[in-house]
Structure 1
Amino acid sequence: MSPATITPESCDLLIEAGFVVPVEPHAVVWEDHAVAISGSEIVAILPTAQARTRFVPKQLVQRPGSALIPGLVNAHTHNPMTLLRGIADDLPLKVWLQQHIWPVEGAVMGPQFVADGITLAIAEMLRGGTTCVNENYFFPDVQAATYKHHGFRARIGLPVIDFPTAWASSDDEYFDRAGEVHDQWRGDPLIATAFAPHAPYTVSDASFERVRMLSDQLDVPVHLHLHETAQEVQQSLDQYGQRPIARLQRLGLINDRLIAVHMTQLTEAEIHLCAERGVSVVHCPESNLKLASGFCPACALARAGVNLAIGTDGCASNNDLDMFSETRTAAILSKAVANDAVALDAFAALRAATLGGARAIGFDAQVGTLEVGKQADIACVDLSALETQPLHHVVSQLVYATGRHQVTDVWIAGRQRLAERQPAGIDMAGVVANARQWRQRIVGLHPA
C-alpha cells in the first residue's frame, strides 16, 4: 500500500514537544517528538513529522520549547498537613512532633481538615508537575474521595498507630476501618491503598504482625517511617534489644512490599539486606535536612540495587510539595554524602522521582515512564525561559536548573488537569481563602 492511501488514525490528544524524556529507556531524550493519547493511554511516541501524518487528533497541543516528562511521583507525604505549613519550624523532630504537631492535630483533625488540606495540596502539586502521590495520614476514606474527585492518582495509607486519634480509638478499630476503606476502593483505576503503620516507636509487635498478615493476604504495600533518626534507633535498642530493621525482619516485614521512608541511619549490612529483600526506600532530603534527622545514603542504596524513590514529606516539615526542588536536593546531597561527584546523576535523579516512586508504590505497570500502553500521566515543562538557557543538556536542566513554575500543563490518565498553570476544576481563590480561615483557627491553638 502506498503512503498516499494510508488512512490516518484518530486519537483523542496529540502533544507535540521540543523534547520527550521517556525515563525508560534510560538516559534517552527524543527531540521534536509527539505523544499520542487515546482515552487514558499512550498509544504512540514518534517524531512530530510522522505523528502529523499518522494521526488526526481531536485535540492538538503544541509545545515546541518544552519537554514532556512522566508525571512526578511524590512517594511520601502527609498532604492534609499543608494547613499546618510553618506553624512549628526550626525544631528537632521529637519536639516538633510531640509538643507542637500532635497537639494541634488533636484539636483540628477531622474530615473537613483532611479534605481541605488535600485540595490545597493537589493544586500545589499539579502546578509542580506531580501527578501521583503516596499518602500517609488519617481519614483515608476522605483522602481517597478527595483525590478521586480531582482525578489525581494516589495510593492511600491506612493508618495504624498505638494511641487513639479522631480516626480510630483502638487497635481493632484501626484495622476494621482499614479493611472497610480498602474494600471500598479495590480495583479503582486511580486510587489504591497501603497499610501505613506510623513508625517502629509508635506501633507494637502485635500490630506489626497483623499488618504483615493482611499485607500478604491483600497484596498491598506497607508504608512506614523507618530509621529516621539516631534517637529512634537507640530507643529500639533500649526497648527491644534490636535496631528497628532487625525488629521488622523478625516480624516478617522486610520484603518487597515495604516502602521504607527516610532511612538516614543505615549500616552496610542493612543496605544489602534491603537490596536482597526488595525493599524500596523513599528519600526525603529536605525534611531530613530541616529537622536535622541525618542523611540517607542514597548513592550507596542505589548502587546496592535498592529501588530509590523521592518524597517531599509533609508541608509541616518541608515546607512545600516541590518535587523539582526535592529532586535537585537529592541529587546534590547524595554527592556530598558519598563524597563522589558522579553519585545520583541527573538521569538517575529524574528516574527516582518518576519510575522509582511508581515502583515503590506498585504503580510502575501504569505510570512512571512515557511508554506505549501506559497511562498518560504527563508533565509539560517549559525550557525556553531565561533560567534554563542555553539548553545544552535537557535532563541536567530539568534536575539542576528548572523550577516548578516552569510546569505549564499536566495530564493524568489522559485528562488535562493543569492548563497554562491553572488547575482544572479547582477554585484557586476559594482554596486560598479557605486556607486563611484554617490559619485563623489554628493560630488560636498555636500562637506564633
Structure 2
Amino acid sequence: MLTQVDALLHARWIVPVDDKQSILEHHSIAIHQGKILDILPTDQIHQCYSSKHDQNLENQLLMPGLINAHGHAAMSLFRGLADDLELMTWLQEHIWPAESKWVSPDFVRDGTRLAIAEMLRSGTTCFSDMYFYPDIAAETVTELNMRAQICCPILDFPTPWAKDADEGIHKALKVNAAQRHNPLVKIAFGPHAPYTVSDEPLRKLASLQEELQIPIQMHLHETAFEVTEAEKQGLRPIARLEQLGILGPHFQAVHVTQANTEDLLTLARYDVKVVHCPESNLKLASGFCPVDKMQKAGITVALGTDGAASNNDLDLFGEMQTAAQLAKAVAGDAAAVPAFEAIRMATLNGAIALGIDDITGSLVKGKAADIIAIDMSRLETLPVYNPISQLVYTRMADKVKHVWVNGKILVRDGILTQIDTEKLKQQARQWGEKIRAGDSHD
C-alpha cells in the first residue's frame, strides 16, 4: 500500500549539499508534515508514495534554501541613503543619526517585511538579523513563515532599543523567553562590535551563553582601523575576546577581514564560526576575508549579505559568486573556494554557524522541507554542463521559481504567496518620502 504524503516534487536535478557533492538527476522529494520524508529516483517514487500535490518541475533544480547568516533586515528602508563612504563616516555621520531619528517598531516591522520579501524571491529561506526591536522582527518572521536567528542588539550607549548594554541584555533575555518554543525563530545575543561593547557586558554574555546556550553574533575585525585602535590599548580584538572567555563554537564572528596567522589559529582553536559578507566589505573598502586560509585551518565559513544599506541588495546567489571569485583573487589561486564550496557556505555552513544544521541547510531525510526550485532553462543558463557551476557563476536570483519553508510554499512561479507586493512597495515608497523630506529639513 502506498504511503500518502503532503507533496511530491519531481525535478530534473537535485543538489542536496552532501559530502559527496551529489548531483541527483531525475529524482523526487517526498514532503510530509513539513519535513523531507524521502528522496528517490522519479521512476521509483510512485512505487512508494502517493500525493494529491504532485509537482513536475521540468528543467528545474531543487536545492536547500539559502541561509543569509548576517544582516540587518529593517535597514532595507535605508537602501541607498548613504553610499561611497568609508565605514566609520558612513556609520557615525549618516546611519546612526538616521536610526536615532527614524527607527521605531513600525519602521522595523515594515523594513523586515521588505527584506523578507526580497530574500524569499531570491531563494533565501533563513536569515540572521541583528537590529533594534528584535521582538517585532521575531513577530514578523513568524507571521510570514520565514526561518530566522534574531540577534538582540547590545551596545554601551543609548539606542532606540535600550539605554545601555545592561538593559540590552535584560531585554534580550525577555525576548528569548518569549520565543523559546517558536520552531521558526532562534534568539541570539548581538553585541555590536568590540569598539561599542565594554568588557563587563561581554563577561556577562560569556556567562549567560554557557548557562543558557544562546549563540552570540558580533562584528569582529571588520576594518584595519578597528584593529589598530584596539592594539593601542594592548590587545587585538580577537585576543581580547579570548581573554574575556567569550569565544567558542556558538560564537559567530562577522566580517573578519583583518586576520593574521595568530588570529586564525585562535578562531580555529575555539571553533568560532565566521560569517563572510563580501559585497558589503567591498563596498565599504573594509578589507578581504581570507576565506581560503580559514577553510584550510578548519574554520566554518558561512555567507551573509549584511544590511541593504551597505550592500545594497540581499541577493545571496550574488554573494556566492562574489565570494568564490574574490577568494581566488585574494588567495592568488583559481582553485580556491570552488563552486560547490560556495554553495555549501550559503546553505549547510550557514546552518552550522547558526546551530540549526539538524533542522535545515541540506536536503536530507528528516530535515525541514526548506527547499528552492530554480529554472535552469533560461537563455542565460544554457547549456548546462554542470548545474553547480551555473548556480555560482551565473546570477541566479531572478531564476528562483518556487520556495518552500517547512513544506509551506511561500513563492510560487516567482510570486510571493503571503505578501501583498503592491502594498509593500507603497509602504517602502512612503518611508522613502518621509525620510527624504526629514533629511532635507535638517
Q: Which range, TM-score by smaller chain?
A: over 0.9
The answer on whether the counterparts of 1:80 and 1:137 sit within 8 Å (CA) in structure 2 is yes
SS at match of 1:446: helix
Which of these residues, 71, 75, 80, is aligned with residue 74 of structure 2?
80
Matched, 1:202 2:196: yes
What is the identity, as a one-letter code, of the residue corresponding to 1:386? L
Tell me how far 1:181 sits from its aligned partner: 0.2
Report if the CA contact (8 A) 1:32-1:64 is conserved.
no
Equivalence for 1:27: 21
Aligned mates of 1:113, 1:409 — CA distance in 2: 28
Which of 337, 341, 346 is matched with 1:348 structurally?
A: 341
Whether 1:37 aligns to 2:31 is: yes
DSSP-derived class of the 1:33 partner: strand
Cα pair 1:71 1:132 within 8 Å, conserved: yes
Task: Tell me if 1:105 matches 2:99.
Answer: yes
Q: Superposition pairs for residues 177-188 of structure 1, below 5 Å?
A: 177-188=171-182
Distance 1:301 1:447, change over 3 A: farther
Q: Distance in 2 between matches of 1:447 and 1:371?
A: 53
Q: Offset of 1:58 from its aligned partner?
A: 2.6
| 1:300 and 2:258 matched | no
Instruction: List aligned pairs for 1:136-285, cutoff 5 A.
Output: 136-238=130-232, 240-285=233-278
Structure 1 residue 285 displacement after superposition: 0.3
Partner of 2:436: 443
Shift of the alpha carbon at 1:102?
Answer: 0.5
Which of 47, 53, 58 is the aligned partner of 1:53? 47
Equivalent residue, structure 1, for 2:354: 361
1:181 and 1:55, CA in 2 relative to 1: closer, same or farther beyond 3 A?
A: same
Question: What is the CA-CA distance between 1:92 and the residue it aligns to?
Answer: 0.3
Superposed displacement of residue 269, structure 1: 1.7
Instruction: Indicate the SS of the match to 1:281.
Output: strand
Q: Which amino acid aligns with 1:445?
A: G
Cα offset, 1:403, TM superposition? 2.0
CA distance in 1, matches of 2:234, 2:262: 17
Distance in 2, matches of 1:367 and 1:231, equals 37
> Which whole-Å CA distance do the structure 2 matches of 1:198 and 1:26 have between them?
37
Distance 2:396 2:357 in 1: 25
Q: 1:91 aligns with which of 85, 92, 97?
A: 85
Which amino acid is the alignment partner of residue 62 of structure 1?
A: N
Structure 2 spans left out of the alignment, 5+ residues: none
Cα deviation code 1:365-391 (max 9, x no counterpart): 000000000000001011110100000
- Which whole-Å deviations, capped at 9, do the CAs of 1:394-437 have from their partners, x for residues lacking one? 10010101420100000000100110111121000000000000
- Sequence identity of aligned pairs in percent? 46
- Are positions 1:11 and 2:5 aligned together? yes
SS class of match (1:34): strand
Question: What residue in structure 2 maps to residue 414 of structure 1?
Answer: 407
Instruction: Return the TM-score normalized by structure 2.
Output: 0.99
SS in 2 for 1:302: helix
Question: CA contact under 8 A between 2:165 and 2:197: conserved in structure 1?
Answer: no
Structure 1 residues 34 and 402: CA distance shift in structure 2, 3 A: farther
Counterpart residue type for residue 279 of structure 1: V
Q: Deviations over 1:236-280 (max 9, x none)?
A: 112x31000000000011211110000000011211221121110
Matches of 2:202 and 2:145, distance apart in 1: 32
- Please list every run of 5 or more consecutive structure 1 residues that lacks an aligned counterpart in the other structure: 1-6
Deviation of 1:52 (Å): 2.1
Q: Aligned pairs, how many?
A: 441
Give, in whole Å, the separation in 2 of the partners of 1:222 and 1:172.
16
One of 321, 324, 342 as aligned partner of 1:331: 324
Aligned residue for 1:416, secondary structure, equals strand
Cα distance in 2 for partners of 1:447, 1:76 equals: 31
CA distance in 2, matches of 1:71, 1:204: 37
Partners of 1:387 and 1:277 lie apart in 2 by 43
Residues 162, 202 of structure 1: 8 Å contact kept: yes
Q: Deviations over 1:204-261 (max 9, x none)?
A: 00111111111111101110000000000011112x3100000000001121111000
Which one-letter code corresponds to 1:121 in the other structure?
Answer: A
Q: CA deviation at 1:447?
A: 4.5
Q: List per-residue Cα deviations over 1:107-130 (Å, max 9, x = no partner).
A: 010100000001001110011000
Are 2:115 and 1:121 equivalent residues in the alignment? Answer: yes
Deviation at 1:167, TM superposition (A): 1.0
Distance in 2 separating the partners of 1:136 and 1:226: 14
